[in-house]
Amino acid sequence: MKILLRNAKLADPERNAQQTGDLLMEDGQILGAGGHITVSDAEIVDCTGLVVSPGLVDMHVHLRDPGFTEKEDVLTGCRAAAAGGVTTLLCMPNTRPAVDEPDTVAYILEKAQHADAHVCVAGALTAGLAGKKRTNLRELMEAGVTAFSDDGHPVENSRIMAEAMQEAAELHMPVLSHCEVPELTAGGKMNEGAVSQELGVPGVPAASEECGTARELALAEALQVPVHICHVSTKASVALIRTFKKRGVPVTCETAPHYFALTEEAMRSKDANLRMSPPLRTEADRRAIIEGLHDGTIDAIATDHAPHTPAEKEDFLQAPNGVIGMETSLAAGITFLVKPGYLKLTQLLYKMSAAPAKLLGLPYGGLMPGAAADVIVFDPEEEWTVDPEKLHGKSKNAVFKGMKLCGKVKRTYYAGRLVYCDQPES
């Protein structure tokens, strides 16, 4: 059946274009976008005052499936994705078992056939994410992975990392690196600094991330192979990446909404739902992240969606790191980047759709005829308060809980199928 989105503000980040007009979809494809489209046999949706854009591509998600399905699974994670306007996601390999064998890849992809979003899989760089033995990257690629990463763990052995980066480059596959020096991070619960000292809480020094980032940049330059740096959170990391980019090193990176929205000051509440790795940093770091997004040093925005059960998050010091974020990422971007004037809406959407799609080699992120009908409809002005009980995943560890955000997803279409529709409260 044809679906016509009538009189929308069409935002195409791939072309950096905005116009008011219609968008027509059928059989999982966009048939037309722009101007007044006349059609007699379509479901017509009035989108007056609403923005229509490509679905978001979240290149850093933990679905916890297999092995930790009490926290999330492929289907519930994709329901949360749809509610946040995410139509494509890359799931990380720190499952049980880890995604280090073709059978595990096959399990995820099979389950994803019934999901409400495209699920791409990151295969592990090392067996069991232990950092000691490289996986068979070619075998994992042939099984269907989209990228390689040991996210959740750094690959501590530099030779193993170098060899993996070289092989991945030969396979034309991206490598996503979790940059951390475990000896520096060990025991830390939040950013090491004035607030951690005041609270008497063990800290994680910024140098842990920065030393790991520096190694990956040095390897990429020496080997002349690409690397993608995950969840950048510090001022020095941004400066390092900017410098190496200017030297022509093939490096890209991402950050997450909590790093441009929040700081270590939020940790005074000792709420474990604000703990993640890397941790919330200082105001100077937050400003550097925003500048990195503004000047193009930071290529993409991803959520690092990491569900944990309420029981796990009860104790501030004992809780595991990780926060959920797919349902709030677009609103956080509008609230903390677009409204203050740091990015235009199309620039935000580019970093959340077309850019991550390009980094992963995926054909998404535009509204051109023939493109996939992965489309979201949202109101950039609607304010709403984040209530974890109203979110769609299994876990409730929302980093923005209780906060008022601006920008609300109203409809999400995945392959032309309506997978989410915001129902106003009666």
Strands 17-26 and 2-12 come out as: antiparallel
Count of all residues that appear for the chain in the document: 426
- List the end-to-end C-alpha distance of the chain, in Å, as a whole number: 30
CB neighbours of residue 63 within 10 Å: 32
Q: List, as one string, the DSSP characters of 304-363.
A: -B----TTTTSSTTTSPS-BB-TTTHHHHHIIIIITTTSS-HHHHHIIIIIHHHHHTT-S
3-state secondary structure of 30: strand
Distance CA 235, CA 138 (A): 36
Active-site residue flag, 304: yes
> Residue type for 13, please?
P
Instruction: Kindly tell me the burial class for residue 1, based on how many C-beta atoms sit within 10 Å of its own C-beta (0-12, 13-18, 19 or more).
Output: exposed
Asked if residues 142 and 117 have their Cβ atoms less than 8 Å apart, the reply is: no
Tokens of 329: 């990422």
Distance CA 168, CA 166 (A): 5
**Angle between the 235-246 and 206-223 helix axes, to the nearest 10 degrees?**
10
| Segment holding 112, helix H or strand E | helix 102-112
The residue with tokens 């930071």 is 298
How many angstroms from the chain centroid is the CA of residue 90? 8
Handedness of CA 236, 167, 352, 345 (dihedral sign): positive
Asked if residues 347 and 364 have their Cβ atoms less than 8 Å apart, the reply is: no
Distance CA 27, CA 39 (A): 15
Catalytic residue among 22, 304, 374, 379: 304
How many angstroms from the chain centroid is the CA of residue 366? 18
The catalytic site residues sit at 304
